[in-house]
Amino acid sequence: MSRYASSFRLGNRGTWKGFLLLVIILQICIIPLQFPEHSANIKSLVKDFISQPLATAQKPTSLSNGINPQPSSEVEAPSTNCQVVDEIKGNEEPSELPKSSLFGDFHEHGISLYSSMHESENCNDINSKHQLNISDYKLFQEDYTKMAIVLLDQLHNDEAFKDLAPFFEGKIPSMLRKNIVSKHFYKFAATSVWLKEYGLHLMVSRVLFSRKGIKWNPQLSLLYAETFNENWEPVNDIQLNVSGNDTLTFPTFLPVPFYHNVHNLKGRWYGPEDARILLFKNEQGKEEPLVIFNAHHRKFSKKYLEQMKDKQGDKDKLDLPQLHPRAKGKDNDENFTHYRSMFIAWPFQFETGKRATDDLPEAKYRNIRFNKARELVIEGRDRNKVEKNWTPFIDPAERSPYDSHINIVYDWENLQVLQCQLTNITSDSFSNCKVIFNTPGKQKVGPIRGGTELIPISTVIPGTSDTMIPTWIGFLRTHIRRCGCGREMYRPHLVVFHRNGNNFRVSHISSSIGFDVPLISARNKDRLCTKGDPNILMPNGISTWEYDKETDTDYLSLSLSRGDQENLILNIKNLGKLVEEDLDCDNEWSDKDSEWSLKMNSCVLKSSVEFCSAYGKEIQDAFTLKKSPRSVLP
């Protein structure tokens, strides 16, 4: 039994079965109402689930740092309500988000900020200390049973998912019976947005599946979408009208198209990874979610295209002689090159086929509806073998009156900004991205990488558009290897980003921030910072950022993951006010901005390595004194 399940141990086997039987009966009541056309199939699945013997309850695993294990959601308490809500009316007054009441009291948490606004080679000269007001974190209690039942339904009844069934080898019902779903599925990297029209948080998480139950040896990655009310309580089995006659029932796995081959799994992780969600204003003037992710895919090789061009002249590749899309074995790699590239998807929009994610999709996909998706292709450049860690942001000043494009920070080391199409996309496979700002220097993936999306402060705090240059706030992450704590360390970093016409710059980046979150081993070790074990606290998204006019206070909700296996959220109070009032952001722009930005980056990295080394030593000392077996504060 997973360590989340400890609080749901029941007295005996019979009580277990009776309790679960009641839950399943309620599932039979609820699911057919939500999926009437599939009710017979769902009843069959549920019947198969309850007809098998239950696994013997295992002894719960306790956390050794004095923190009680989180309650399990793998066995949900029975509900007495079978009513299904078709939708939350979009013309009703949007719900006001709660402020400090959700997370209780705030406490101070010190951060160290480095600035590119001062011309100095000394890191101490460009450093300043500040206090963030943060709440205690909230750990999401994952309902793996609910998630598995949703996936089973989609594998059987959703045309976009049926072809994925072989990955699971028909073993999900057995996992449900044995209560081991959480040993094969890993849910993390949650990111969310607040849908004002529906009065709901929409959260998208990455769900990793491993046949052998080894997280770092997965076969498939999917995106799981859930809805929550303003108090972060799950809202299950709710149906939303999203566009035209289309509806979505939550929770659900998003039908994002991607290339996959179940016969060739070695060295390939199929499916969307590292998703980031943000809102844009569509052509109807409504806010709509947008998801950016990376995924494995294949393209015709240059060699193959050249050979076919010689044979067929200048015909488009769509007219090339058809290859067999997928034999029952490995791909014909002589004709394809495989990449990990960046994609964009519209969860509330749909189209047929998989041309966006595969140069040679099988004919059977032509009439299957998937989320609308496009590869993000940089104009005038060859496709890199791997693209990851792009940072999206919207510039409200460019709306006319909708968002025709999205901006991307492509590189934080030598600052580079892209502009990618959202409308007037003429290709059925890609969105064109233009480089609109470029800093000379070698483009490479450095230790400072994309984390959350960037949010413009002008959309949160009134009057800032008159007193500040266009400013965005977000959280980056550093990836530091062999720095004194295991194999590698990941930590969040606050970033302050600006625009002045066609120029961009980063004025401030913090050192590593721990947010007083206890960490856990990513590889289930009995202690932290062991050889080969990454130490992970990852910023995923800015869920909300609201301003309370009555108290002149802003509240930012930040979603994070720890250990690549748990999702959590916390509030930060008056971060916008800190940036507006305490930071020097309006210095004149000069030709040396990039030079001082690189100096700032080097100071951030130096302090991050020092943080990692000190953290590793603290863990070692605590272990020696037998005070810290598994989970400690950073």
Query: If the chain, 634 residues long, is cut into consecutive pieces of 10 residues, what is the mean pLDDT of each piece?
Result: 33 46 46 40 40 33 29 34 38 41 78 92 95 96 97 98 97 98 97 96 98 94 98 95 90 97 90 97 95 94 78 47 47 80 97 90 91 96 94 95 97 96 92 94 82 96 86 97 93 97 95 96 87 94 96 97 95 96 82 87 96 92 64 50
CA distance 374 to 372: 7
Task: Please report the DSSP string for 290-341 in residue order.
Answer: EEEEEEEEEEE-HHHHHHHHHHHTT--GGGSPPPPS--SSS--TTSEEEEEE
The encoded tokens of residue 585 equal 């952001």
Alpha helices, H only, 386-503: 464-467
pLDDT of residue 310: 66
- C-alpha–C-alpha distance, residues 419 and 452, integer Å: 18
Q: Is the pTM value of this prediction over 0.75?
A: yes
**Structure-block tokens of residue 607:** 């302090």
C-alpha atoms less than 13 angstroms from C-alpha of 285 in its C-beta half-sphere: 1
Phi-psi region of 366 (alpha: psi -120 to 50; beta: other; left: phi over 0): alpha
C-alpha neighbours within 13 Å on the C-beta side of residue 569? 24
Report pLDDT for 59.
Answer: 28
- Looking at residue 183, what is its pLDDT? 96
Strand 535-548 to 488-500 pairing: parallel
Helix 13-34 × helix 144-157 angle, to 10°: 50
Token output for 74: 């793998």
Q: In the chain, what are the domain boundaries?
A: 109-136+455-634, 257-446
Chain position carrying tokens 């060859």: 382
